[in-house]
Structure 1
Amino acid sequence: MLPKHTLRLLAKNITVRHASTESKVKTGIVMLNMGGPQHTDQVHDYLHRIMTDRDMIQFPFAQNQLGPWIAKRRTPEVKKKYEEIGGGSPILKWTDLQGKLLCKKLDEVSPESAPHKHYVSFRYVHPFTEDAFREIEKDGVERAIVFSQYPQYSCATSGSSFNAIYKHFHKKGLPSNLKLSVIDRWSTHPLLVKCFADLIQKEINLIPEEKRREAIILFSAHSIPLKTVNRGDAYPSEVGATVQLVMQELNFCNPYQLVWQSKVGPLPWLGPFTDDALTDYVKKQGKKNFVVVPIAFVNEHIETLHELDIEYCKELGEKLGVENIRRVPAPNDHPLFIEALSDIVKTHLKNKVAVGHKFLNRCPHCVNANCLKSKTWYGENCQI
């Protein structure tokens, strides 16, 4: 018979091994987003990566020369904007919190795929794609769900992030013990719609009652070049679908308009632009009350905190003499939004569709060779 101290040691080791096995990550949630510089000293490299990424922006010629030149030229102006919102982007803070809340909820509602752990995968700033998947391999994750945090799909945003994952594994190979699947869009999810409707209603209620019903709801989304739209990019139609469902949830309580922001460069982009719409509504139509909704953004960052809040709602609003202008918060950690995320993942696992047909189908006038290679790779390698 073994001595008592030996038995105690064996029991302790078994307990430790059991705890280690129980805590091993079964399902990893890879949260894709563009990211944003956490400090102003990251701004130049962030812009450089954007301007030289042909999945995001296609210059007609000399992108390797023009991209770095534009990044260097824009850095001082963009740095100043980040300084005015506190010195950096909060997008990592919000994405990390959303991921933690999502996985906590998933552990409750989907115990069969637990434990869950989130991994942030940014496109243009740390943590990058390779950082996220390095952690996944280190944790011995069995299944990784690549979850785009852009509800509406665009080749320039979601597409670029998915292509980066393809490039990462094309070089080193997909681990044989890792199952990979894709959630590429979710613009019409009922809980996303209810979340936006709730946030909008709260802001409408803060407008004086006698002005409330005349307030125009401006749904503002990041614009894209018209040549991208004409190639067949799904983004404008998917943003429009979200808007219509949100207004339906609100019983079409107010006049509303879909507008577009964040145009860069001289080429034609999808309009009307948010600032131009505000200007003409006030100057030409005499409208003075507005609710601005960042309908394509799931967390606060430079385009909500500076472009919408400072440039449009404050500076332009004061210049135009608007009476009331309210900016609806991004979903951030709203309980309905976290429920939406968890329901999307749970349904994805239940339906056992590793990658959707829409994702694998290219735009009719696609000119991106990376897109063909990437979608072929996902079609051959995704499983659930």
Structure 2
Amino acid sequence: MALRHSGRALSKATSGLASSWSSWSTTLRWKPAQIQHQMRTMATVVPPVTQDKTSSKGPTAIVFMNMGGPSTTDEVQDFLSRLFADADLIPLGRLQNYLGPLIANRRTPKIQKQYAAIGGGSPIRKWSEYQAEEMCKILDKISPETAPHKPYVAFRYAHPYTEEMYERLLADGFGNGKGGRAVAFTQYPQYSCSTTGSSLNELWKWRQRLEGKSGPLDDGRDGTIQWSVIDRWPVHEGLVEAFAQNIEKKLEEYPKERRDKVVLLFSAHSLPMSVVNRGDPYPAEVGATVYAVMQRLGFSNPYRLCYQSQVGPQPWLGPQTSMSVEEYIAKGQKDLVLIPIAFTSDHIETLYELDEEVIGESGHKDTVKRVESLNGNPVFIKALADLAKSHLDSGITCSAQMSLRCPSCKSERCLESKKFFAGQQTLPGK
């Protein structure tokens, strides 16, 4: 859910696109050293899950889907090329195949410098793999009947690509006549056809290519992977709680007499208005998350929802985050807290676009601040596990919302993808 000005704004915008578009009253607070230790364990090789190693309804593959980001500056050009080639994300019409590579090539040197400024690459893969692995550890305990749970990450524009993930699934003993279940778990809490929809379309494409010809088993089942989808979760109580706690922690940095006057600026990826007017549910779902967080905070502060990372001359959903900060400061409101409400971890849009450009160029770094991203937040990771367990217990393949196309949708690929996931069989044991 890692989207988008002219002139200087256009320059800022694609920095956003070069990323990616994840008892509640108490929480464990990890120290940086502990988080670094945990992240180092991500390199540990997880033994393959095979179909002869099952519980009553397992094993279960849990696939985290996200936009992704280049892990090194050398990967930037390929990342941008794939990103601008995706008509679901950036519709460029009949000239997509020409304009996409052109824009990517021209943007690469500048975006490489931006990634170099935040450490040489995006941390989104490290955080995604960490979140997936930690969630599966919890899930093994709270849902033993569907264990073991094997974590996978599938990025749309960076390694590991969807096709790489699918090849790993097959190598680990899923599919290829052996059956098995897998959950496509979007890490965009709010659904958009440009983000979750694009990832699911890509997943469907590779499923058809790699498993479409699998033959039937003796029991009549075709032995392909049985998919279900967690396609949105904008108001899940754990997500809301994690955001609320991070906001409360940041507000404590302001003097008590000014604290309740701090303006909370929720910032989300923007969308082209052509996508919004087509009927995309994203604006409504982002608004739902913002309202739920403010409700949890008791509406303690004034707030607004704004959008970042616009690219190109066409109209995009606004107001823009950078403009909002500039305008509020011009009006004398200098106590501002930015909350990346549609992102589940740090990436270039938080570390560079918000921290370096919006806050760094505001002239008021002492009063304009950003809330910490969810990253390794244990409340958030527990929420992911609870979401997965509820989904596995439900026996449904996707939400009713996912099966409904946008009113003005003309995409045949979207139609076929939705039909596939909505039409998957009831999950094993249900």
Using structure 1 for the length normalisation, give the TM-score: 0.91
Distance in 1, Cα, partners of 2:206 & 2:425: 15
Q: Is 1:180–1:383's contact at 8 Å kept on the other side of the alignment? A: no
3-state DSSP class of the match of 2:413? helix
Q: Distance in 2 between matches of 1:26 and 1:201?
A: 39
Task: Provide the secondary structure at the position in 1 that maps to 2:63.
Answer: strand
Q: What are the residue-to-residue correspondences of 1:325-336 with 2, within 5 Å?
A: 325-336=368-379
- The 5-angstrom pairing of residues 41-190 of structure 1 reads 41-141=74-174, 142-173=180-211, 176-177=222-223, 178-190=225-237
Q: Secondary structure at the match of 1:307?
A: helix
Q: CA deviation at 1:21?
A: 5.0
Which letter maps to 1:161?
Answer: S
Uncovered stretches (5+) of structure 1, i.e. residues with no partner: 1-18
Correspondence for 1:236 among 283, 286, 298: 283
> Could you say what the CA RMSD is over the residues aligned between the two structures, in angstroms?
1.6
Of stretches 89-98 and 201-210 in structure 1, the one that deviates more from structure 2 is 201-210
Q: CA deviation at 1:20?
A: 10
Partner of 1:287: 333
Q: How far did 1:381 drift?
A: 2.8
Aligned length: 362
Question: Does 1 or 2 have the higher relative contact order (CA < 8 Å, sep 6+)?
Answer: 2
- Could you say if the C-alpha distance between residues 191 and 89 of structure 1 is closer, same or farther in structure 2, counting changes exceeding 3 Å? same
Once residues 373 and 301 of structure 1 are traced to their aligned partners in structure 2, the CA distance between those partners, rounded to angstroms, is 32
CA distance in 2, matches of 1:301, 1:60: 28
Counterpart CA distance in 2 for 1:123 and 1:162 is 10
Q: 1:272-300 CA deviation, whole Å, 9 max, x = no partner?
A: 000111111111x2101011000000000
Superposed, which structure 2 residues align to 1:341-360 within 5 Å?
Answer: 341-360=384-403
The match for 1:304 is 350
Aligned residue type for 1:371: C
Aligned-pair identity in percent equals 48
SS at match of 2:88: coil
Rounded to whole Å, the distance in 2 between the matches of 1:77 and 1:207 is 35
Partner Cα distance (1:197, 1:376) in 2:
37
SS of match in other structure, 1:187: coil
Q: Distance in 2 between matches of 1:140 and 1:372?
A: 29
1:261 maps to which of 302, 308, 317: 308
CA distance in structure 1 between the aligned counterparts of 2:104 and 2:93, rounded to whole angstroms: 17
**CA distance in structure 1 between the partners assigned to 2:51 and 2:97 by the alignment:** 48
Alpha-carbon separation, structure 1, partners of 2:416 and 2:87? 15
TM-score (norm 2): 0.82
Residues of 1 paired with 2:394 and 2:165: CA distance? 25
Q: Distance in 2 between matches of 1:42 and 1:180?
A: 30
Which stretches of structure 1, 4 residues or longer, exceed 6 Å deviation after superposition?
A: none
Structure with more of its chain in helix, by fraction: 1
Counterpart check, 1:273 vs 2:320:
yes
1:36 lines up with 2:69 in the alignment:
yes
8 Å CA contact 2:69–2:79 kept in 1: the answer is yes
Contact 1:288 1:323 in 2 (8 A): no
Secondary structure at 1:199 match in 2: helix
